[in-house]
Amino acid sequence: MTIDDLHKTLSKGEDIHTEFKEANLKVPTNFYDTVVSFLNREGGTIVLGADDKGAVTGIDSTSVEQMKKDIVTALNNKDVINPPVNFPLYQITENGKTVLCIKIPVSSQIHTHAGIIYDRENDSDIRIEDDARISDLYFRKRNYFTENEIFPHLKIEDLDDNLFDKARTIIRSVDTSHPWISASNMTILRDSTLYRKDMRTGVEGLTLAAALIFGKDETIRNLLPAYKFDIMVRVQDTDRWDDKVSLRTNLIDTYLQTMDFIKKSHALPEKFYLEGDQRKDLRELIFREIVANVIVHREYTSAFSTEIVIYNNRIEISNPNKPLFRGIMALDTFSPFAKNPNIRRFFSEFRWTDEIGSGIKNVYKYLNLYVTGSKPLFIEDDKFKTIIPLVASVLGKDKATILLEFVGLDKLKLTEENITSIEALELTPELTEISDLNEFFFKKGASWIEKGSKHKNLRFKNINNLPFDNFTKRVSWIEKGSKLMDKRSITLLKILLLCSTPQKIENLLSALEFNSRDRFRELYLTPLRNNGFIEYTIKEKPNSPDQHYATTEKGKRFLGGFEI
């Protein structure tokens, strides 16, 4: 931002996109309200060191550096701004007076300051609390993509010519007749909508996506100071790492270097199989999908870093995200949605991505071949989390028998189908490694209590914080279960286990010796259904006489100890 830009901003006055704040010695308390309101509305500029008429009052020269540090720290602190953000601060001094200018882009996410949502109306920051306005805000955000933001001062000189040549080489390897092979750099940018005109404002130029794909490292650091892509191996040293690489570079090299790191990792061996008449490496097929999805679906304005962590029994990936909902993604019900459609389309020219949604389906397909019986877990949230188990395990016959005793279910009264579905419940890698049965069920019970207590109206709880030594001294498994958890928690577990195969309410009432149908619904079925642990089998007719209740994928993951 130049002095001329500052003069134009000050002369325009405060409006929906502009705010002036006096700030002599410290950041004003309402500064972050405005940051959030601009993020949630249409973006804007804040000038610190000017009064509400646009007259420059200045910032004390001894306070400028500390003020800048305080702002950067706060923007990266989710207790202040959530999700965190990052953007540059411009320091301008004229006639001995210093101001700080902050240009805030519109965000594709909804942000809060200290837990409160703010929106912008005219020249005011409005606190948003009613559900209708919050819903309107989410609807407004749904079709906004930060990759499309135009930076008028971003020039072709800020991009790396070598990356265009690298892109042509990659394209030539998959399509020798592709028009980009002989096209100019600007033609490639225009064809891929990385150079665009905003028809609403008339602003024309290179986009954030252009900088991310072709930008010099310095260009990317200037636009996104907090952007980082970490890959770690934690097999021997789980507190730190055995190997690590941190990337702050363009997306083409990020993909190539990440795939190279994975191929060299001893924790992830090659495994080949025949697909038709072609011999393919399952490891490469799986991680081609994972790495490409991480890159094309990341929310790049977030201050969170992308992390890929390789453990001895699993891989965990967390990625800043613009969530469409919160919770586990089920393969048969999820709706694919491109978070960065232009970046995704560009990667598809390299054959690094296929059609939208194919990545998750392919990971399911190839992971089961790489680790027999293993299923990936995808969790949609502000950080999109992916868990890839490298050791597949199910509960099994012996542990299933003890589990039924643990919660007080009579195995003889269950159907074969029900018992088989319980035996097939998938376990977390951590639980898989526990061979001692006392330790296994103690930790499994602790997992249920910890994760279940976070869900509204379920009220899972440890009735007396039973220590492990006392747990092992109990005579029977049913006694151990009743001492570890209260009656309500055990009843909830019974319902989830029984509904691993669909059950009519009459069957549940009989199995649990419960008399009142209405009370049973109120106390147990409704809370479990509202939290997504069970569902109707006939969703369109809740009162159908053929209605059954079935444990959802989320409920089964909960039983297996997974994060939900």
Quote the longest CA-to-CA distance of the chain.
88
Where does the pLDDT of residue 483 fall: very low under 50, low under 70, confident under 90, or very high at 90 and above?
Answer: confident
Residue 199 has what pLDDT?
66
d(CA 257, CA 219): 19
d(CA 334, CA 332): 6
**Range in 47-56, 325-334, 444-453, 537-546 with the lowest mean pLDDT:** 325-334
Which residues on adjacent β-strands are paired with residue 15? Answer: 18
With both helix axes pointing from N to C terminus, report the angle between 341-349 and 282-297 in degrees, rounded to the nearest 10: 150
Domains and CATH numbers, the chain: 3-143 (3.30.950.30), 156-223 (no CATH), 231-389 (3.30.565.60), 396-559 (no CATH)
Residue 142 has what pLDDT?
63
- The fraction of the chain above a pLDDT of 70, given in percent, is 96
Evaluate if residue 458 carries a pLDDT over 90.
Answer: no
d(CA 564, CA 561): 9
Residue 32 or residue 240, greater confidence: 32
Per-residue tokens: 14: 């405060």
**Calculated CA dihedral for residues 354, 355, 357, 361, nearest 10 degrees:** -50
Where does the pLDDT of residue 332 fall: very low under 50, low under 70, confident under 90, or very high at 90 and above?
Answer: low
Residue 200 has what pLDDT?
64
The pTM assigned to this predicted structure is: 0.65
Evaluate if residue 344 carries a pLDDT over 60.
Answer: yes
Helix (H, G, I), strand (E, B) or coil at 520: helix
Residue 137 has what pLDDT?
84
Per-residue tokens: 189: 């940018």
Per-residue tokens: 157: 């000189």
Residue 57 has what pLDDT?
94
Evaluate if residue 267 carries a pLDDT over 90.
Answer: no
> Of the candidates 414, 473, 393, 397, which has an alpha carbon nearest to the alpha carbon of residue 438?
473
Query: Span 98-110, mean pLDDT?
Result: 85
Query: Span 96-104, mean pLDDT?
Result: 92
Query: Span 475-503, mean pLDDT?
Result: 92
d(CA 120, CA 272): 55
Where does the pLDDT of residue 462 fall: very low under 50, low under 70, confident under 90, or very high at 90 and above?
Answer: low
Residue 433 has what pLDDT?
81
d(CA 383, CA 326): 10
Where does the pLDDT of residue 320 fall: very low under 50, low under 70, confident under 90, or very high at 90 and above?
Answer: very high
Query: Span 319-344, mean pLDDT?
Result: 76
Summarize pLDDT for 272-288 with one digit per residue, the tens. 988 888 898 999 999 99
Per-residue tokens: 481: 């279960």
The beta strand positions in 359-413, using DSSP E, are 377-380, 383-389
Helix (H, G, I), strand (E, B) or coil at 206: strand
**Range in 17-31, 142-156, 301-315 with the lowest mean pLDDT:** 142-156
Give the C-alpha distances (Å, rounded to integers) separating 370 from 256, 286, 364: 22, 9, 10
- Strands 549-551, 534-536: pairing is antiparallel
Query: Span 322-337, mean pLDDT?
Result: 70
Evaluate if residue 105 carries a pLDDT over 90.
Answer: no
Summarize pLDDT for 170-184 with one digit per residue, the tens. 999 998 999 999 999
Q: In which element (H, E) is residue 396 found? A: helix 396-407
Mean pLDDT estimate for the chain: 89
Evaluate if residue 555 carries a pLDDT over 70.
Answer: yes
Residue 334 has what pLDDT?
62
Q: In which element (H, E) is residue 482 found? A: helix 477-484
Residue 380 has what pLDDT?
86
Cα 136 versus chain centre, distance:
22
d(CA 171, CA 350): 5
The one-letter amino acid at 319: N
Where does the pLDDT of residue 231 fall: very low under 50, low under 70, confident under 90, or very high at 90 and above?
Answer: very high
Q: b/e per residue, 80-89, with b = 16+ CB within 10 A?
A: bbbbbbbbeb
Q: ∠ CA(400), CA(439), CA(396), 5° rounding?
A: 20
Summarize pLDDT for 243-260 with one digit per residue, the tens. 899 999 999 999 999 999
